[in-house]
Amino acid sequence: MGAMTTLRVLGGPGTGKSTMLVDAAATRIAGGADPASVLLLTGSGRMAAAARGALTATLLNARPGGLSVVREPLVRSVHSYAFGVLRNAAARAGDPPPRLVTGAEQDGIIRELLAGDLDDGARYWPRELRPALTTVGFATELRDLLSRCVQRGIDPIELQRIGRVSGRREWVAAGRFAQQYEQVMLLRASVGTAAPQATVPALGAADLVGAALEALAADADLLAAERARVRLLLVDDAQHLDPQAATLVRVLAAGSDLTVLAGDPNQAVFGFRGADADLLSADSPVITLTRSHRCAPAIARAISGIAAALPGTGWRALEGRDGDDEGSVTVTVAASTHAEAAVVADALRRAHLVDGVPWSQLAVIVRSVSAAAALTRALSVAGVPVDAPTAGGAVVENPGVRSLLTVLSATESGLDDDSAEALLTGPIGRVDPVSLRQLRRALRHTDRTVLDALTGPAQELPATLAAPVKRVRSVLAAAARSHGSHHDPRYTLWQAWERSGLQRRWLTAADRGGADAALAERNLAAVTALFDITEAYVARTAGASLSGLLDHVATLQLPPVAADAAPAGETVAVLSPHAALGRDWHTVVIAGLQDGLWPNTTPRGGVLGTQRLLDVLDGLGEDVSARAPLLAEERRLLIAAMGRARQRLLITAVDSDAGDESTLPSVFVPELARLASGDTDTAALTLVQAPPVLSPAAVVGRLRGVVCAPADAVDEGRRASAAEQLARLAAAGVPGADPQHWHGLSALSTQEPLWSGDDHIVTLSPSTVQTLTDCPLRWLAERHGGTGVRQVTSTLGSVVHALVAESSRTAEQLIAELENVWAAVPFDSPWYAANELNRHRAMLAAFTAWRVATRHELTEIGTEIELDGLVAPPADGLPGVRVRGRIDRLERDAQGRVVIVDVKTAKSPVTKDDAQRHAQLGVYQLAVSEGVLVAGDHAAGDQPGGGRLVFIGKPTASGGATEREQSALGADDTEGWRDAVRAAAAATAGPTFAARVNDGCSHCPIKPTCPAHNSGAEPS
């Protein structure tokens, strides 16, 4: 082998390029060469780790006695190698090692500088870009453009020149910004941010390789030492290297005995990150590998077919691996996204259950993981254990993180009113808007505020309100104690976290499963990310402080979960084609191959035109199609994704006209279908409806359908066979298979009434009397857990009732208070929140209009008046009734009688006749006549003067409320109502509970299983 030889090894997926490099390294070392003389460079840290594992295994096999220790790693990513060069250069000069800044930190610095530009008028930025300067997206885009320039050796002055020549003012501005950025980074290197003594240069990932090249150019001895050391230079996936990394390889190759560049121009898919496969087209000897040792023949043929349409000179034919197994490629076009999810779920479950493929040997590749969230959810529901990156916003947007940061901020610089309320209503305090209002009201009696409650002396509060206040106080106190003892920010954060109890709470929720578990896991991931950030901040910053940490976190835009998180054990990976590089699976599903999504030919580079800048640097004119290179990169991405499959490849897409927009398959789909079938007729692609998924619930459902089918509907032999299979599943413990657990088949546990006895007293609220009168079955269901989760509408109803109880407030004041609490109400969407706010403003206005309009006839006695007492003694075998509750408003009419007012927020008023029969109003009147009102300016023996239902949910044309009246109770009526409440109370005994169809059925939580609506049908 002659000196300074460069050899290229080209080949498609699985052709053994990486294995060949590992073998070359192992052979060299086994031949007695110093291990430090071998360097294997890869495009990324993840691939370096895989190659390192393979090389170590090969060396251990070759030399079971053990290996000699090497000072420099044999396998490194290009960036890691560049960092090593800089560290050596610094050591030779007696300087501290270089300091790395993450992309998020760079974004933070860029955003600070842009904010400063805006303060100064941002005059050098084009006017149309100024509104975007403060956005996170712009900072990221600017960093990307500057990185691309660094990778191509374009300095800020040159960038400004190119911008002027090309008439692109945004590039001139970016060049000026880059000058400023460089100066600031130099300044930070010499004085530090929070550490005046720091003198370590701070480098971003894009600067590393350029800085290493500069170091090698400036220090001839360093370059000579590196060249003398590295005798065998191996480069894997060379198509992923950017121009600067390629230059570094060339610099090193100039001194090595042999350089082997392995790669595949047909899998060059990091163009958006500046990668360029140019290194692989150098004029040097080439070995082309044509046989894939990974892909089965059917898959290799399909890959060759897709590669045939690529521009350029890369390989065109890929042979499949040896052996009898042909493998398979299937293309399925589904009639809906639901059907596509069912196809994928069924294929994965069959591969695992029928063919015995481990879950970890199955993968789903999608062009965009965030766009495939619904597919991921559907797979989970169908019983496929998936491992997909968690979608989520920046760390600081997580409510748990926000609360902890608020605690740290309060510890550093005190609490204000807004932060105090935010802490109470956040995950630590967990106070809902209604309780917050009650707390404010309770505190107002002693002239104190929520802030006083958290920071002043502890004070007596009702138990339900005291608990959250105490919890927040103890978290604040724990953080303050730690800070007061001069512990570093990590310790203070830990103290607050530990005292909050959130860890136990979220871990418990995560263990329970369901939607809450997913939320709890996201919260835990976000808090873990906050601890990581804090750890990194403290480790890198001498003199780290709480305020420094808060500033640091505020400028970061990090997702809660690291993008390169290690895959979990036995799960199916759902990932992007880029994340799938370097890995392979028995079965791969490429899902969501849709028009507009894959190929995605939207020009990259955004408002700064980064892609156009690269084209200018490459000498391409405006007339060159921007779409063609993107289309080619998307095709290469498809090849890379297909090449991950060893045995089976399933490609799915949706063709549907349903919904707002039609969903069309990608242009790749007919091409793939032809390749998969060997048929040139694409009409063979028929739309597939959702197949029955091979999941326990679906199978049990189908078997039960046969077993329980009406006589003559199924063949008796089939019924017996289904029963036999069900019995097998029941014996294996599959949920729902055992008839013991089927609804309606178990025997009644008791026929006894819920209570008995002649002198039994039943305690009811007036609204319960109404429910019992309307439908005893609904009462039973709701009383025993048959209500849904507390809905937003119910919270809003409570807020409105609390507001209208404030007699002294004007409409404007009530609306202002409503707007104050609105942000804390958990709406699903902003448009709905805005709509509801308007509706509730109108309600409050309607109420105050009604109040004004009725003052000539009614005088307010009080609001939220409690009642508690016996209104009907036991009689005639019926129970006695004690009523307990609260009346919205009590008024006195011109004759001195007491009038009940009940405020309703429902949108539909009851009829006038129904109001006369309204049980709730009737019970209130009975309570007045029996003198069981607890307090207020009224007395036992007061005459009831009737009741009024005030419907504010549907204001009249004049903006007032709709009123419905119940006449004053006469002596005869009193007995009638007494009997009615006794009858309602008697209905609570059971054991039979009647289902009575009524106007409220449409809102009844058990309507789907109600016998009055379903002719006795059982729930499915």
Binding footprint of ligand SF4 on the chain (CB under 6 A) = 775, 777-778, 995-998, 1000-1001, 1004, 1006-1007, 1010, 1012-1013
Closer of 116 and 1008 to ligand SF4 (Cβ): 1008
Closer of 122 and 775 to ligand SF4 (Cβ): 775
Rounded to the nearest whole angstrom, what is the least distance from the CB of residue 337 to ligand SF4 in the complex?
33
Question: 3-class secondary structure for 356-385?
Answer: CCCHHHEEEEECCCHHHHHHHHHHHHCCCC
Buried b (16+ CB within 10 A) or exposed e, 118-131: eeeebeebeeebee
Bond preceding residue 599 cis, omega within 30 of 0? yes
Residues 577 and 365: beta-carbon distance below 8 Å = yes
Cα–Cα distance, 549 to 489 (Å, whole number): 7
**Considering only CA atoms, which of 292, 266, 263 is closest in space to residue 16?**
292
3-class DSSP state of 476:
helix
Question: 3-class secondary structure for 327-342?
Answer: CEEEEEEECCHHHHHH
Rounded to the nearest whole angstrom, what is the least distance from the CB of residue 786 to ligand SF4 in the complex?
9
Closer of 728 and 1003 to ligand SF4 (Cβ): 1003
DSSP-assigned beta bridge partners for residue 333: 653, 687
DSSP-assigned beta bridge partners for residue 331: 651
481 alpha-carbon distance from chain centroid: 35
Closer of 702 and 1003 to ligand SF4 (Cβ): 1003
Closer of 638 and 1010 to ligand SF4 (Cβ): 1010
3-class DSSP state of 860:
strand
3-class DSSP state of 818:
helix
Environment class of residue 740 by beta-carbon count within 10 Å: exposed (0-12), middle (13-18) or buried (19+)?
A: exposed
Closer of 363 and 775 to ligand SF4 (Cβ): 775
Residues contacting residue 795 through CB under 8 Å, at least 6 positions apart: 432, 433, 434, 825
Rounded to the nearest whole angstrom, what is the least distance from the CB of residue 965 to ligand SF4 in the complex?
26
| Pair type for strands 362-366 and 5-11 | unpaired
Residues 692 and 322: beta-carbon distance below 8 Å = no
Rounded to the nearest whole angstrom, what is the least distance from the CB of residue 994 to ligand SF4 in the complex?
8
Rounded to the nearest whole angstrom, what is the least distance from the CB of residue 977 to ligand SF4 in the complex?
22
Place of tokens 């890198």: 540
Buried b (16+ CB within 10 A) or exposed e, 133-144: beeeebbbbbbb
Environment class of residue 80 by beta-carbon count within 10 Å: exposed (0-12), middle (13-18) or buried (19+)?
A: middle
| Pair type for strands 962-966 and 944-951 | antiparallel
Query: Around Cβ 821, how many Cβ atoms within 10 Å?
Result: 21
**Considering only CA atoms, which of 667, 738, 747, 659 is closest in space to residue 704?**
738
Closer of 780 and 818 to ligand SF4 (Cβ): 780
Closer of 710 and 744 to ligand SF4 (Cβ): 744
Rounded to the nearest whole angstrom, what is the least distance from the CB of residue 993 to ligand SF4 in the complex?
9
Closer of 954 and 1007 to ligand SF4 (Cβ): 1007
531 alpha-carbon distance from chain centroid: 19
Q: What is the DSSP letter of 987?
A: T
Closer of 288 and 787 to ligand SF4 (Cβ): 787
Closer of 37 and 773 to ligand SF4 (Cβ): 773
**Residue 451 tokens, joined:** 């802030």
Closer of 1002 and 1020 to ligand SF4 (Cβ): 1002
Query: Around Cβ 263, how many Cβ atoms within 10 Å?
Result: 24
Rounded to the nearest whole angstrom, what is the least distance from the CB of residue 871 to ligand SF4 in the complex?
25
Rounded to the nearest whole angstrom, what is the least distance from the CB of residue 1003 to ligand SF4 in the complex?
8
Rounded to the nearest whole angstrom, what is the least distance from the CB of residue 639 to ligand SF4 in the complex?
58
Query: Around Cβ 590, how many Cβ atoms within 10 Å?
Result: 26
Place of tokens 């295994």: 57
Cα–Cα distance, 977 to 334 (Å, whole number): 62
Rounded to the nearest whole angstrom, what is the least distance from the CB of residue 884 to ligand SF4 in the complex?
23
Rounded to the nearest whole angstrom, what is the least distance from the CB of residue 672 to ligand SF4 in the complex?
51
Closer of 174 and 1004 to ligand SF4 (Cβ): 1004
Closer of 546 and 772 to ligand SF4 (Cβ): 772
Rounded to the nearest whole angstrom, what is the least distance from the CB of residue 791 to ligand SF4 in the complex?
17
Closer of 625 and 1014 to ligand SF4 (Cβ): 1014
Rounded to the nearest whole angstrom, what is the least distance from the CB of residue 1005 to ligand SF4 in the complex?
8
Closer of 281 and 1009 to ligand SF4 (Cβ): 1009
Residues contacting residue 672 through CB under 8 Å, at least 6 positions apart: 302, 306, 329, 331, 593, 651
Rounded to the nearest whole angstrom, what is the least distance from the CB of residue 1011 to ligand SF4 in the complex?
7
Buried b (16+ CB within 10 A) or exposed e, 178-200: beebeebbeebbeebbbbeebeb
Environment class of residue 890 by beta-carbon count within 10 Å: exposed (0-12), middle (13-18) or buried (19+)?
A: buried
Cα–Cα distance, 242 to 239 (Å, whole number): 8
Cα–Cα distance, 680 to 671 (Å, whole number): 9
Residue 623 Rama label (left phi>0; alpha psi -120 to 50; beta): alpha
Rounded to the nearest whole angstrom, what is the least distance from the CB of residue 995 to ligand SF4 in the complex?
4
Rounded to the nearest whole angstrom, what is the least distance from the CB of residue 1018 to ligand SF4 in the complex?
15
**Measured between alpha carbons, how far is residue 179 from residues 161, 183, 189, 729, 994 in Å?**
13, 6, 15, 71, 81
Closer of 273 and 1013 to ligand SF4 (Cβ): 1013
Residues 232 and 28: beta-carbon distance below 8 Å = yes
Rounded to the nearest whole angstrom, what is the least distance from the CB of residue 743 to ligand SF4 in the complex?
16
Q: Read off the amino acid at residue 974.
A: T
Rounded to the nearest whole angstrom, what is the least distance from the CB of residue 768 to ligand SF4 in the complex?
14
Closer of 281 and 998 to ligand SF4 (Cβ): 998
